[in-house]
Amino acid sequence: MNRAGTIPGVLLLLLLLFVRGCSQTAARNDAAIAEDATVAPDLAPPPLRKLVQKPLFGQMPLDNRVSHPEFTIIDGLSWFPWCEKCHDLPVRMFLPSTPLGQPAARLPTLGQEEPFHLIGMVKGMDGPLEVSVWLGRKMVDSKTPDFSDTEAAFVGVFPEKGYGEVFLAEDGSTKPRVLDGIHWMRTAVWLKEPPVGWANLIVTDSLGHGLYVTSPIVIPMPTQPKYQQLRSRPQRVGSSRARALVAWRAVRRKPRGVPEPGRPFDPWYFPPGH
Minimum gap (Å) between residue 148 Cβ and other proteins:
25
Closest CA to 118 of 66, 168, 74, 85: 74
CB contact set of 17 (below 8 Å; sequence gap of 6+): none
Residue 62 near other proteins by CB under 8 A? yes
Q: Which stretch binds other proteins (CB under 8 A): 136-144, 166-174, 185-193, 196-204?
A: 196-204
Minimum gap (Å) between residue 4 Cβ and other proteins:
8
Return the residue of 39, 111, 148, 163 that touches other proteins, per CB under 8 A. 163
Q: Is 27 helix (H, G, I), strand (E, B) or coil?
A: helix
Residue 115 near other proteins by CB under 8 A? no
Residue 94 near other proteins by CB under 8 A? yes
Residue 196 near other proteins by CB under 8 A? yes
Minimum gap (Å) between residue 229 Cβ and other proteins:
20
Q: Which stretch binds other proteins (CB under 8 A): 60-68, 139-147, 185-193, 232-240?
A: 60-68
**CA-CA distance, 185 to 162, in Å (whole number)?**
30
CA 6 to chain centre: 30
Burial of 245-268, coded b for 16+ CB within 10 Å and e otherwise, reads bebbeeeeeeeeeeeeeeeeeeee
Q: Which lies closer to other proteins via its Cβ, residue 33 or residue 169?
A: 33
Residue 10 near other proteins by CB under 8 A? no
Q: Terminus-to-terminus CA distance in the chain, angstroms?
A: 59
Return the residue of 37, 83, 119, 211 that touches other proteins, per CB under 8 A. 119
Please list every residue from 38 through 57 that binds other proteins, using CB under 8 A: 45-57
Please list every residue from 17 through 36 that binds other proteins, using CB under 8 A: 18-19, 21-22, 25-31, 33, 35
Q: Which lies closer to other proteins via its Cβ, residue 234 or residue 272?
A: 272
Burial of 61-86, coded b for 16+ CB within 10 Å and e otherwise, reads eeebbbbebbbeebebbbbbbbbeeb
